[in-house]
Amino acid sequence: MQTKFVQPSIEILNVRIDEPVTTITDLLLVSICIYAFIGIRKSCKSGLYSRYFRSYFLILGLGALTGGLLGHAFQYRLSEQWKLVSWILTLASVVLLVQALLEVARPLFSRRLASLISWLNFLIAIPVLIITIWSVDFSPVKYYAAFGLVGVAGSLSLYFYKRTRNTGVLVLMGGVGIGLISAIIYSLEWGISAWFNHRDLGHIILCFGAYYIYRGAERIINSIVSPG
């Protein structure tokens, strides 16, 4: 049986920091999200899907930032409910990524069907949000993310690829697949040591996943929107 590694605290200038490596790997994910947000913004491409992709990285980055600071580094000074900030932002980021892919594929659907999928994307997230806040548990967000990213986003990407042969969605879904590996590691608590536990390993893998989602999104945007 895997032993759960508990990361020791450190002190910097008499300030206690819990789970320091976990905090650093969270901040590394923040840096990837900032890089992706700036990269997509600099492309100067119009389109609702471009705004959704930017928003996805912005909200995911804020989720990682609040998770690192409020959920790990300084959680000892706060109540358990402060973890909800990061969890809710993570939930919102999944909604935004699904919405981005829906906007990419929207021309291939009827207006009524596209609107229905869009409404369902938001409506399904509402009970997940309520249950998460009520239970103060990350599990509802985790299960919704698996459903949203694999079930909905995966289906939209597969359909879009079959109709357009746009390889950007394959790169993007490859990033999603990498991210799911981190969920497995996190759930099974596979770590290397107390100084690099399952959270740290999961965050590093999430960084790779976020980078490939960015590359896929960038390729999609550049292929379906003409320059200028």
Q: Render pLDDT for 92-142 as a digit per residue (tens, 0 to 9).
A: 999 999 999 999 999 998 889 989 989 999 999 999 999 999 999 988 998
Do residues 225 and 50 touch, judged by C-beta distance below 8 A?
Answer: yes
Give the confidence band of 148 by pLDDT, cuts at 50, 70, 90.
Answer: confident
Q: What mean pLDDT is predicted for residues 42-47?
A: 74
pLDDT at 223: 85
Average pLDDT score over the chain: 90
Higher pLDDT, 61 or 150: 61
- Check pLDDT > 80 for residue 198: yes
Angstrom distance (rounded) from CA 143 to CA 126? 14
- Check pLDDT > 70 for residue 1: no
Angstrom distance (rounded) from CA 43 to CA 36? 11
- Check pLDDT > 60 for residue 145: yes
Quick one: CA torsion of 10, 67, 144, 212, rounded to 10 degrees?
Answer: -90
- Check pLDDT > 80 for residue 170: yes
From the list 88, 15, 100, the residue with the least C-alpha distance to 53 is 100
pTM beyond 0.95: the answer is no
Helix (H) or strand (E) holding 15: strand 15-17
Higher pLDDT, 218 or 2: 218
